[in-house]
Amino acid sequence: MASGRRRKVWAALATTVAAAFTSLALASPTTAAPAFPGVDEVVKSDNVDHVANIPKQAPFDTLANLNSDIAFQGKYAFAGNYGGVTIYDIGDPRKPKIVSQVVCPGSQNDVSVAGDLLFLSTDSSRNNDSCSSTTQPVTVKESWEGIKIFDISDVRNPRYIKSVENKCGSHTHTIVPGGKDTTYVYVSSYLIDQNSVGPDCQYPHDKISVIKVDHKKPTDAAVVAEPVLFPDGGNPGDGLPYPEITRQTTGCHDLTAYPDKKIMAGACMGDGVLFDITNPLAPRTIDVVRDDENFSFWHSATFNNKANKIVFTDELGGGGTATCNDTIGSQKGANGIYDIVGKGDKRKLVFRSYYKIDRDQADTEVCVAHNGNLIPVPGKDIMVQAWYQGGVQVWDFTDSRHPKTIGFFERGPLSNTQLQTAGSWSAYYYNGYIFSNDIQKGLDVLDVTDKRLAPAKRVHFDELNVQSQHSYGRH
């Protein structure tokens, strides 16, 4: 999701595209309009049960305070929101309870946990690093963006203990274990246009920041490396009118590490990348792929358990546009499924197919491929994924060339007259259930009653940060 200064650009583009969709619809009177769910109406497949919902609570319950990512530890879920973090007790997934809320504004509040520490991304220019900060232009030298660190040893009273400033802020971040008592935090950020440029954030922004955190001395956390990932400048973009445009690569939106395999997948605006992270301070590029015909904005990535496939998502429209309709079609704004072929430094990413939800969404619904993770079914490649107002999708890509749908859950639009941002930002499988952080409606809990997923019920994790994958075999 584009945030802060970046959201203004996407919002203007979204308005233009929404108007174009309306014009196209009016120009085709002989085409029957599809029947969409009513406002807030829940629709789902028969094999998905909606077992719980907790609405957003004040002060996070405004349209502007979007729910964002989720991390898990033990019986707790840590759910980001543009206003801070909500901690839920999910010990009984059918009866989740709010344990505490941390008020700490700063989009987009991407969240991860490691031991007694919680990491929070701030990607909007602030007047200071406190949890009472306000917005301030990026052109002001003293403005702050970066990572905030909290002590969550007492989940009822999290304590803010440290901030680490990053060039261009932290849109998302990824944690990578660094050995006993050490965690590396990979910070992803990017430039969307000249309005993003400031004293600390300049073109070419072709790097990430690596923060080293000693869990015994977390207040000593600091940036220890800024590896350049695109020495050739990355994808220059095609400069075509939106929505055909392929974004210029000026950083990465999301990095997904697979520490057990010492590899990482980068969704980096105009590029999809496979990295070697044997040396965590110096990620090394193995292969780069582009899809200038159908991919607009490489947004996130998911390995399969064997690490011989990657699913890349395309955030067409920046999370502010209706893209799940006949006007856009089935290939633009879709997932791209790639096999990893070969070994070592000769590994290549080979495209196999696209996958997109097949339920048309109304032109007042922001629908876009977003965050998901593997459902741990041994021997199968099955994923749950958020699609904003396209809802939550469960699908199988065991056959890379022929992915198929297993089930879904979604709500109708917030409005029949206005395009509004809503729906599932992150939908993750954790210890038997799917937890969806709905941007406007709060935390949803789903149970998929499908025999194909039954083996996953036996796989349990003590901690889950989706952007740091682990093999099922270890649990």
pLDDT for res 20 = 39
Residue 401 three-state SS: coil
C-beta atoms surrounding 326 within 10 Å: 13
Q: Is 290 exposed, middle or buried (0-12, 13-18, 19+ CB in 10 A)?
A: middle
* 475 residues of the chain, pLDDT tens digit each: 444 444 443 444 444 334 433 333 333 333 445 578 999 999 999 999 999 999 999 999 999 999 999 999 999 999 999 999 999 999 999 999 999 999 999 999 999 999 999 999 999 999 999 999 999 999 999 999 999 999 999 999 999 999 999 999 999 999 999 988 999 999 999 998 888 899 999 999 999 999 999 999 999 999 999 999 999 999 999 877 766 689 999 999 999 999 999 999 999 999 999 999 999 999 999 999 999 999 999 999 999 999 999 999 999 999 999 999 999 999 999 999 999 999 999 999 999 999 999 999 999 999 999 999 999 999 999 999 999 999 999 999 999 999 999 999 999 999 999 999 999 999 999 999 999 999 999 999 999 999 999 999 999 999 999 999 999 864 3
pLDDT for res 21 = 36
pLDDT for res 195 = 82
- Tokens at residue 186, please? 């990979």
Asked if residues 255 and 174 have their Cβ atoms less than 8 Å apart, the reply is: yes
pLDDT for res 242 = 64
Phi and psi for 122 in degrees, rounded to 5?
-115, 115
- Tokens at residue 436, please? 């969806």
Domains and CATH numbers, the chain: 5-474 (2.130.10.10)
Give the rounded distance of the alpha carbon of 191 from its chain centre.
17
Return the residue matching tokens 């009866």: 95
Give Cα separations from 449 to 87, 282, 321, 434, 446 (angstroms).
27, 43, 32, 11, 10
Beta-carbon contacts of 14 under 8 Å, excluding residues fewer than 6 positions away, are: 317, 318, 320, 321, 366, 419
Q: Which helix (H) or strand (E) holds 255?
A: strand 254-258
Beta-carbon contacts of 220 under 8 Å, excluding residues fewer than 6 positions away, are: 214
Beta-carbon contacts of 305 under 8 Å, excluding residues fewer than 6 positions away, are: 374, 376, 378, 381, 471, 472
Q: Which helix (H) or strand (E) holds 437?
A: strand 433-438
